[in-house]
Amino acid sequence: MPESVASRLCFDEVSQASTVEQKVAVVESLVKQGSVLVYAHFELAERLRVLFEGTITVDETTDPRMLRQLDRAPYKLLVASDSFAMRGIDYRSKSNIMFLVIGQQFPCTREALQGVARVGRFGDPCQKIKFADCLQLVDQRS
């Protein structure tokens, strides 16, 4: 991977959580601090939706205007299970920190670049975290 691409895929933290329960605990601790966008495989996404009331599932029906005002509303947890929700949308939280948590691999490098750039744009405060089982952001089997 070229250095310019690798530098855009940097993360603030790599969480060693490996089980779904451990990953849920990480997300739970982050929700107490700010808005959280989780890119997650089906099992983790479903567990989060069940455990956290008011979780927003981001898909093609989600109003993008709402996603640009996450610091103005009580939206704390957003879950995306497919790469559609991880490209072309700016998740904005201008006054409160927002966390991006990567809980599954992307299908290709372009999708990874798009996904990782969804938060922290325009100088918004953010922190990017990935789970250790996603050290390779791109699924090499794709």
**pLDDT, tens digit, for every residue of 6-32?**
667 889 999 999 999 999 999 999 999
What pLDDT does 3 receive? 54
142 within domain boundaries: no
pLDDT at 82: 84
Q: How confident is the model at residue 142, as a pLDDT?
A: 54
pLDDT number for residue 105: 92
Residue 140 domain-assigned?
no
pLDDT for 49 equals: 95
Decide: pTM greater than 0.95: no
**Is 85 contained in some domain?**
yes
Positions of the chain with pLDDT under 70: 1-7, 73-75, 88, 142
CA proximity to 129, closest of 55, 4, 29: 29
Q: Which two tokens stand for residue 106?
A: 């992307």
What pLDDT was estimated at residue 60? 85
Closest CA to 20 of 103, 136, 134, 127: 103
pLDDT confidence of residue 89: 75
Q: What's residue 138's pLDDT?
A: 87
Q: Is 141 exposed, middle or buried (0-12, 13-18, 19+ CB in 10 A)?
A: exposed
Residue type for 64, please? P
Rg (CA), the chain: 14
Distance CA 15, CA 27 (A): 11
CB 116 within 8 A of CB 128: yes
**Is 61 part of any domain?**
yes
> Does any domain span residue 7?
yes
Quick one: pLDDT at residue 30? 95
Task: Tell me the residue range of the domain where 11 lies.
Answer: 3-134
pLDDT of residue 1: 58
Overall domain count for the chain: 1
